[in-house]
Every structure is written in C-alpha cells, then in structure tokens.
Structure 1
C-alpha cells in the first residue's frame, strides 16, 4: 500500500524547507556580513559591463521607440507593409524595422558622445591650462592680501598668526615624515601600481565595449525579455500573484526609464543654461564650470551643492565673481527644482524629500558614486513594494488603505476608527491633552469629512 501525502502536508513541507533556507541565509549574513558585502562587490564588478549596457539601453529606449513609431513604421506603411500590429505574417518586417531603429539610435548616440568629447575636452584642457598659468598670479595676490592683513593688525595679532603658522608647519612636517613617507611605494610596488592602472584602463574600455553590445541587444530584443519573463511568472505562480509580479516589473522599468533618462536630460539642460549664464555674467572658465555643474546635477539632492561649491572654489581668487556665481547657481537650482525638474521627471519616483535624502545617504554609503546615482530609483521600487504589500494586507482585513485615515487615529476597535480628539477614547494611551487650535482643527476636519461622505451617499443611485 503506497502512502500518498496530503496537500496540506506537502505545503507545510515546502514552507519548512524554504524557511530553513531563509534562517540559514540570515545567520550567514549576520555573522559573515563583511564577506557577503565583498562577494556582492565582486559580483557587481564582474557584471559592470552588463550594468552599463542596461543603463544605456534604458536611456535610449524612448529614442528608439520614437524613431520606430514616427519614422520607420510610416515608411514601411507607405511601402504597403502594416507592421504596427504584431502578426506572424509581418514578423520578419518588424524585426527589420527594429534593427533599423536600433542602428539609427546607436549612430545618433555615438555621434552625440563624439561631438561632446570633440568640443568639450579641448575647452576643458584650455581652462585647466589657464588655471595653471595663472597660479603664480593667484599666489602673488594671496601674498599681497596676507601682507595687507598683517599691516592692518597689531603686532600681537601678527605674532599669534606667525606662531600658528609655525605650529602648523611642524605638524605638517611630522605628518609627511611619519605618516606619508612610509606610504610612498618602492620601485617594485610602483611598477605594480602602474600595471594595475593599465589593467584598470583596459577593463574600463572593455566594459564600455561590452556595455554598447549589451545595449544593442537589449534594445533589439526588449519585447523578448518581457515576453519570456511573463511566461515564467505565469508558469511558477498563481494567476493573481503572477499579475502582481508582472505589474511590479513593469513599474520597475517605468521608474528607472523615467528617472535615469529624465535626470540626464535635465542635467544637460542645466549645464547649457549654466554655460549661457556664465558667459553673460563674464565669469572665468564658463565651459569647465558648466560641465561640473551639469555632471554633478545628476546626483539628486547633493549634486547642486557639490557643483556650486567646486565652481565657487575655481572663482574664489576673485571673491566678487565667486559670490555672483553662487547667487546665479542658487537661482538656477531653484528653477530646476521647482519648474524644470518636475516638468521633465514628474513624479517618477513618488518619494518625499526625506526618503530621497535617506536613499542617497544609504546607497551612497554602500556603493559610493554609483549609489548616489541609482539609489533613488532603487529605493522608490522598495518603497512602492512595501506600500503595495501593506495595502493588500489592509484590504484583506477590510481596513482602509487611505493614509489620511490614520492621521488622527488613536486605535481601531471592531474595525471602527477611534480618533485622538475623542475624549472618550482612553485605551492604549490614546487620551491626551491637546491644544484648543489642534482640537478645533481635527473636529472641523472630521465634520467636513462626515458631510462629504453624506453627500456621496446621496449621489449614489438607489438599488431597485
């Protein structure tokens, strides 16, 4: 007689198996956290070319779709091929159209990159040469300013400043001899570092080539990835859960495509406006400063401050120009934060300023500059996932998913919401003394809410 396990027993066995694996993984992560981080860093480093390619693809997807929809498909339609709809009869023509669109996209992308380097790099080199060439003048001006400062002060102040300079010189000498000199590499280690630098350059070039190849493949086959992913989801999970998985990945794609692409466009526009403003204000090194401001603007929240500080330091030899630049940057960033940024990015992340700051700090601490760039969309996905799970669990308990309903909430009893302003609600430390203004505000808001609910009930058609 064969023993056949019941369905509940199989479910419990699978649950216990996966729970055991989760506990072992948690134990390993807790007690071997450093090795886990190192392993993840190695994995990310080994996949850097693929990551670069995926990022490039996300940036170029809108351009590819626009070229295909507005140029290539109409040309095929004029020739008598309706490839706007996916059918077996026109599958070859659709693949041809996609390859043509991707080819045009990559040509435009490479041409833009080449043009930027062809125009910007010589100007940047000239700006750096000017800074180096004017350095003796800067030094002379600083000495003159220091001399005037000494002459305009008393002997006691000069003696104090000289003593502080002597003490700083002694500290600097000790630091150079005891701390820095032992770190100076020997001949063997120097060649080793040089070889590592060469290999690093080769790896960067290799990652860029791999990234371009991956970007072409992703752009050419993005529907294939989506189709196979959906197939796997519906094969592994229940229909309802599979719908959630597919919708979640669609949301991830929209967030990354909207944020990364929009942020790059926003930063390019800010860099161009900054260059025009620096030229009109007759500031030094306009192109160098504009490139710095545009690049750092990619970093959310902290980027504008970093770019403004670096630009002001370059102009600091002329304090008036540095001050003018800081005022200009503040105005420019207000324009970006309140007008240009929302117009381009919209609400692509759905995060408040606090969570943007948190995500930049957290992921920046983990991954450095890369964390600054991708931390916001990654956390936006995590935030949306937690919000979605929370709403699902509340719906199953037949509780409200509206966040505003929990603003003045004291506790819930038998699915009835008790407010903090109700003097009779004294359970769970809910009763507390509130100010007259706060009490009037909450009471007024509750009355308005009740009136709105009554109006909605009256507007509903009566069931016959």
Structure 2
C-alpha cells in the first residue's frame, strides 16, 4: 500500500466518524430516522449485556448447556417483568389516577397554610411575598391537570409502539446471546482487518475499560437503587404514608441519577404527600426527613459497599457530568454521563502516565493529585 492509498483510507475513516458525530450531536432529522431504526438493536444490546451475566452464571453453576441456560434466563427475566407488571404497575397507576382526581378537586388556599401572625411587620411582609409567589405556581399546576390527563391519553400510542419495540428487542437479544461467540469473533476479524495492530490494541483496551466501568457502575447502580426503593417502601409503609409504593418507586428511580437524584425525587414525593393529606402539611416535613435519612444511609453505607470504586472521580466532576449529560441527552444523559466521564478520565490519565513514564517523570505532581483508591469508602455516590 503506497502513501496515497493510505491517505485516502484514513481520510475516509475520519469523514465517516466526523459525519456520525455531527449527526449525533446536532440531532438532525436524518439522525432521528437512523435512531428510530437502530433503537430495537440498541435495546437488544442492553438486554443482552445485562442478561449475559445470568446466562454465564447458570452455565458455570449448573450442568446446563448455553441454549438451556439462555432459555432459563429468559424464563426468569420474563417472570420478573410479569410479576412487576401484575403487582406493582396497577397500584402505581391507581395511585396516579387518585392523585390526579384529588389535585383537580383541591381548593388550595396558601393563606391558610402559611398564614401566621408574627407580630412583626417585616416578617409579615416576607410571608405575604412568599404566598404571592407560590400561589400562581400552585394554581397553574391545578389548572394543568386536565391537560396532563389529555397528554397521558395522547401518549398511549407511543407506549404501545414502545411495547412492540421492546418485544422485538427481546427476540433479537435471544439471538445475540445464542450467537455471542460468533458475533465477538466477527467483530475481532473486522477490527484487525481494518486497523493495524497498534490501533486494534488501543480499541480493545478502550473497550475493556468501558466494559469494566459501565459494568461496575450501571449494574451496581441498578442494585443500589432497587435496595433504596424497597427500603423506602418499607419505611413509608411503617409510618403509614399515603401512596407509599408510588413514592418509593420515584425515590428508587431518581436514585439512579448521582447527586441530583435525591433532590429530584424529594420534589414529587413532597407534592404527593401534601396532596394525600392537605390538612397535615407537617407530613411533608417528615417525608423529607425520611428521604434525607435514607439517602444518607445510601451515601455512606449502601452505595459505597455496592459501587466500590466504580466512580473514581470527585464530586465536582460528577456534578459536571450530570449537568452536561442532562442538558444534552435528558435523564438518560444524567445517568450515563458519569460512567462516560470516568471512561474518558481513565483513558486520558493512562495516556498521560504512559507519556510521563517514557520521559522519566513517573511521580510528577503525584502528591498534589487526589487519589481515588479501590476501597469501599472512596465513593459516596
């Protein structure tokens, strides 16, 4: 291969990569069409990635072959989905319906809730300012109830389409698990055929780091959030909070988002608690205290025990990752921004360390760099 051929090939690769990045970041109509087409494959990959652990576990600890292990895995997976759908979702839907009806029938008078005579003209003025600010917001929420119901009705078609897409993804994931060895082998052949040995080594090294980081963070965060959701349900039930299951579901779901999750979950939890008992606003305070205790337990005990060193970055960088990811890709970006940042940070630091080692500066500024060692106390989220 002469220099001219080499230049054309690499220029074509750069053009392809650049075009993909531009389409992805600009969210053009072309990207939307492409994304809709690959969505089932993306979901199938996620399902395959998660269930492969269970398949390998069954293969290792039983005498079943891979085909039977895949069959047993999907029986367990579908059974869990059916159980959740039968026991939890109807209760959540019923609770949401009750809240919508109650919200539409509420006549909220914030003057009665907040009005206290402080015998001080300045405090009374501050109190009235708070009432004047909050009242329009509450009225807008109440008036928007009808639009909210209409929005739910309009989303039924999208939900149905999503369910069909999920079923298709489930079927695709079965074939992915069955043909895992073949798919991995073909990917390796493609990489070695189109890249030199050094480039292929870099690709596999980055892929391994991504696998290790995303596995530790995503799987760990799922388990952590499941525990927090169950713990919240038990605590809210013991203290007889209304809509305990719905609030616990919200707390567990928002717990997937580092740092901002507890704040995002506390807002709807407080609103739901107040709607359930508008004559007892003190329950909102108790609800917030309960959420604070649960999140502290998660931050100092449960989270570090499960996640270990899967984060490995300071709070500042996690907040940056959540903020940028949320602004770019919404809730999914808030969740995936953290492991993505950890991956980028790991790649950059390994590259810097390699270059410093070649120049003989192994310990340069090591005393001034905060270390995140592999210990169960190194991460609070």
Q: Taking structure 2 as the reference length, what is the TM-score of the superposition?
A: 0.76
Which of 348, 368, 375 in structure 2 is aligned with 1:407? 368
Query: For 2:152 and 2:271, how far apart are their aligned partners in 1?
Result: 31
Q: Which position in structure 1 is the counterpart of 2:86?
A: 118
Q: Which position in structure 2 is the counterpart of 1:266?
A: 224
- Higher RCO (C-alpha under 8 Å, 6+ residues apart): 2
Please state how far the C-alpha of 1:145 moved relative to its aligned partner: 4.1
Q: Deviations over 1:171-191 (max 9, x none)?
A: x99xx9xxx9xxx9xxxxx9x
Change (3 A) 1:37 1:122: same
Change (3 A) 1:41 1:145: same
Greater gyration radius: 1
Q: Which position in structure 2 is the counterpart of 1:45?
A: 36
**2:326–2:332 Cα contact (<8 Å) kept:** yes
Confirm whether residue 210 of structure 1 aligns to residue 178 of structure 2: no
Q: Aligned residues, how many?
A: 352
Q: Which position in structure 2 is the counterpart of 1:357?
A: 319
Query: For 2:50 and 2:20, how far apart are their aligned partners in 1?
Result: 37
Q: Deviations over 1:371-419 (max 9, x none)?
A: 1232222232222222233333333x423344643739xxxxxxxxxxx
Query: For 1:283 and 1:312, how far apart are their aligned partners in 2?
Result: 11
Change (3 A) 1:266 1:34: closer
Please state how far the C-alpha of 1:224 moved relative to its aligned partner: 2.7
Q: Taking structure 1 as the reference length, what is the TM-score of the superposition?
A: 0.64
Q: Which position in structure 2 is the counterpart of 1:139?
A: 107
Query: For 2:352 and 2:60, how far apart are their aligned partners in 1?
Result: 39
Gaps of 5+ in 1: 1-6, 74-96, 185-189, 409-464
* Secondary structure of 1:47 counterpart: helix
Q: Which position in structure 1 is the counterpart of 2:63?
A: 72
Change (3 A) 1:111 1:66: same
How do 1:375-390 residues align onto structure 2 when only pairs under 5 Å count? 375-390=337-352
Q: Which position in structure 1 is the counterpart of 2:180?
A: 222
**2:24–2:31 Cα contact (<8 Å) kept:** no
Which of 121, 124, 128 in structure 1 is aligned with 2:96? 128
Q: Which position in structure 1 is the counterpart of 2:284?
A: 322
Q: Which position in structure 1 is the counterpart of 2:213?
A: 255
Q: Deviations over 1:61-91 (max 9, x none)?
A: 2222211111235xxxxxxxxxxxxxxxxxx
* Secondary structure of 2:359 counterpart: coil
Query: For 2:258 and 2:196, how far apart are their aligned partners in 1?
Result: 39
Q: Which position in structure 2 is the counterpart of 1:420?
A: none
Please state how far the C-alpha of 1:144 moved relative to its aligned partner: 4.8
Confirm whether residue 102 of structure 1 aligns to residue 93 of structure 2: no
Q: Which position in structure 2 is the counterpart of 1:14?
A: 6
**1:299–1:372 Cα contact (<8 Å) kept:** yes
**1:49–1:206 Cα contact (<8 Å) kept:** no
Please state how far the C-alpha of 1:257 moved relative to its aligned partner: 2.4
Query: For 1:33 and 1:136, how far apart are their aligned partners in 2?
Result: 41
Please state how far the C-alpha of 1:118 moved relative to its aligned partner: 1.0
**1:360–1:371 Cα contact (<8 Å) kept:** yes
Change (3 A) 1:27 1:371: closer
* Secondary structure of 2:88 counterpart: helix
Query: For 2:297 and 2:80, how far apart are their aligned partners in 1?
Result: 26
Which of 346, 355, 360 in structure 2 is aligned with 1:393? 355
Please state how far the C-alpha of 1:142 moved relative to its aligned partner: 5.5
